[in-house]
Structure 1
Amino acid sequence: MALVRDATAAPSMHNAQPWRFQYFRRTRVFHLRADLRGALPHSDPELRALHLGCGAALMNLRVAVAHEGWQAATRLLPDPGDPMLLASVTLTGPLGGETDPAGLYPAVHTRHTSRHPFAETPIPGPVCTALVDAAHQEGVWLAFPSGWHLQSVLELMLEAEARNITDAGTASDLARFTRRAGDERPATEGVPESAFGPLRRIGKAPMRDFAGGKRVPGRPTADFETFPHLALLSTARDRPEDWLRTGQAVERVLLRATLEGLATSFVTQALEWHDTRWPLRDPTSGMAYVQMVLRLGYGRPGARTPRRPVQDVLDTEP
């Protein structure tokens, strides 16, 4: 089904694709469920990143439904007795005069994570405002750190990346969802070698090394940004509902950024360790929990990464 194909164009940590959909024809209801095939037991033991990825897929589904001219009613965690049922989306009737979020649809299949250097060009104020507004529409706070706060975030990310390189559990999660040239695994999930991006030669952009510190023949090096543009998405609480809302906000921001000509990537290393996640917050803000850090800028678009076929993630019911 085209709507689910659009939904699964969403990003997820290590492209693990931790979602599964059910569609009930008679009631015109989609269920979004967690798929533990996409769980990262060491890097994401609480399933926070899993919820974020599923929230991003939910946002894409909402965009696609609106693009097809339907109104939809969305409920998060509709059954307290079934925590793996993350959301329901009911098609309630033809779309009226309201076009949001249908206008984001052109970016659904052109948004790709870019692990390449970005220019040092400032992001115009109106574009920043549009991204802040996009997050606010999902009930999430977006801020652009600067000065001492930006420096602190960068240092925390570098510390966490250094830990990840030597941590066996992190390496195991990464190995499950990266594909090197010559691998015999199906090319339907994970981050392929073609999307690793170049190794950083100089610069402060906090890039994850998807090769895990191992040599990749022919992989280039590049100079990254000295002052990267980062955006922090935060919430006042830290519950599964907040994670799902953040996932929707992240994807709405990414789609808007893509339409504005920005390239984007994720900076999650410090979010994967309890002692480095908490200090990411801005102590002057009421938003206590940083849920996601994005890197934004003008640069080379990212490479497309694989997705599981729709028939592998969709069950259709009467």
Structure 2
Amino acid sequence: MAQLRLDQRTVTTLVAEATTAPSMHNAQPWRFRFLAAERLVLLRADPARAMPRSDPGNRALHIGCGAALFNLRVAAVHASLVPRIRLLPDPRDPLLLASVQLADLSEAPQEKDLWRLHPAIRQRRTSRHPFSERDIPENVRATLQAAAAREGATLLFPGLWHVDTLLELVRDAESRDLVRAEEDEDLVRWTRLGGEVDTAVDGVPAYAFGPRKSDGKAPVRDFSGRRPVPDRGSAAFERTPHLALLGTRGDGPRDWLAAGQALERVLLEGTLRGLSTSLTSHPLEDRELRLLTRDPGSGVGHVQMVLRLGYGPKGPATPRRPVPDVLSVV
């Protein structure tokens, strides 16, 4: 059966929803190319948005692009399309991370459960505000673990002793940043202060920093660094933060893309269940510290992300690049 040609408006909507995904420092390190005759979307890494200090191997870049890929899958199913995914389709082109064939319903079965996640794409936020001490019910935890497993990853809720270890690693990462002034380069590049806030299309604007931590143990990165932010205020954060470790068996580009898709699936499921979320990559940016985040008895091979989950403010929306800046149609 001949396929109907997809109109550019539909593809623009799909990409707009894909790019609501989280990425390290909201750098949005992706580009999309739509081959109209083939109904094929190509997802490419944008090396100009890489972070040589914080992410020298581009692991976090791949995770961010994987999260955008998952959103694209959800958006495609919502548009009554069937996304056929190939990861790393051309070994000669390492920047080409995935191809997505947008098939008609008549040609293949849909992942119908993805349709249910579509409302959460626009609702999901990163919250750097205090959460309550309320526990996360076991059935919600099980749902999030199942979501990660659907994408080939593992989600672990560590015990109290392991949480304390993770918090110590976050403090170690913060201390290393203070000692090594050059470690701030990526953070300074991707944060928006003063007049930049109103015109920003990427990065983390000052209004999304959240309050300074006056008390508590929650691992929340202070994006202001050494720079003053007027009228920011401070607050007490949770004493017993609810953390989760997202891991994969392997630790290469394909695993990082899988981790990104699993991460976004977990975040969308959590959003639908009323959870607020933030991501803690700080101790994962140093190879030595990252190795220590793993619990050898847990079965998690390589930790790809530390999630903070709980009940509290959702956080503001952060800026996004206009679709014409990230999508080309041929």
- What is the TM-score when the length of structure 1 is the normalising length? 0.97
Helix, strand or coil: the match of 2:32? strand
Q: Distance in 1 between matches of 2:71 and 2:27?
A: 17
Task: Name the amino acid aligned to 2:74.
Answer: V
Equivalent runs, 1:68-217 vs 2, <5 Å: 68-94=79-105, 96=109, 98-183=111-196, 186-217=199-230
* Residue 237 (structure 1) aligned with residue 250 (structure 2): yes
Which aligned segments of 4 or more residues in structure 1 are displaced greater than 4 angstroms? 95-98
Q: Distance in 1 between matches of 2:300 and 2:90?
A: 27
Q: Distance in 2 between matches of 1:184 and 1:256?
A: 30
Please say which of residues 62-71 and 97-106 is displaced more in the overlay. Answer: 97-106
Helix, strand or coil: the match of 1:217? coil
In structure 1, runs of 5+ residues without a counterpart are none
Quote how far apart the aligned CAs of 1:271 are.
0.2
Quote how far apart the aligned CAs of 1:185 are.
8.8
Q: Deviations over 1:4-55 (max 9, x none)?
A: 0000000000000000000111111100000112211100000000000000
**CA 1:194–1:157 in structure 2 vs 1: closer, same or farther (change >3 Å)?**
same
Partner residue of 2:291? 278
Q: Deviations over 1:213-270 (max 9, x none)?
A: 3221111100001110001001111100000000000000000000000000011110
Q: Distance in 1 between matches of 2:181 and 2:59?
A: 20
Quote how far apart the aligned CAs of 1:73 are.
0.8
Q: Distance in 2 between matches of 1:311 and 1:217?
A: 34
Quote how far apart the aligned CAs of 1:206 are.
1.1
In structure 2, runs of 5+ residues without a counterpart are 1-11
Task: Name the amino acid aligned to 2:101.
Answer: T
**CA 1:69–1:24 in structure 2 vs 1: closer, same or farther (change >3 Å)?**
same
Q: Distance in 2 between matches of 1:258 and 1:45?
A: 31
Match of 1:291 among 304, 316, 319: 304
Q: Distance in 2 between matches of 1:167 and 1:248?
A: 33
Quote how far apart the aligned CAs of 1:71 are.
1.0
Quote how far apart the aligned CAs of 1:98 are.
4.5
Q: Distance in 1 between matches of 2:197 and 2:268?
A: 33
Partner residue of 2:9? none
Please say which of residues 2-11 and 166-175 is displaced more in the overlay. Answer: 166-175
**Percent identity for Structure 1 against Structure 2:** 54
Task: Name the amino acid aligned to 2:93.
Answer: D
Contact 1:165 1:212 in 2 (8 A): no
Please say which of residues 228-237 and 158-167 is displaced more in the overlay. Answer: 158-167
Contact 2:77 2:111 in 1 (8 A): no
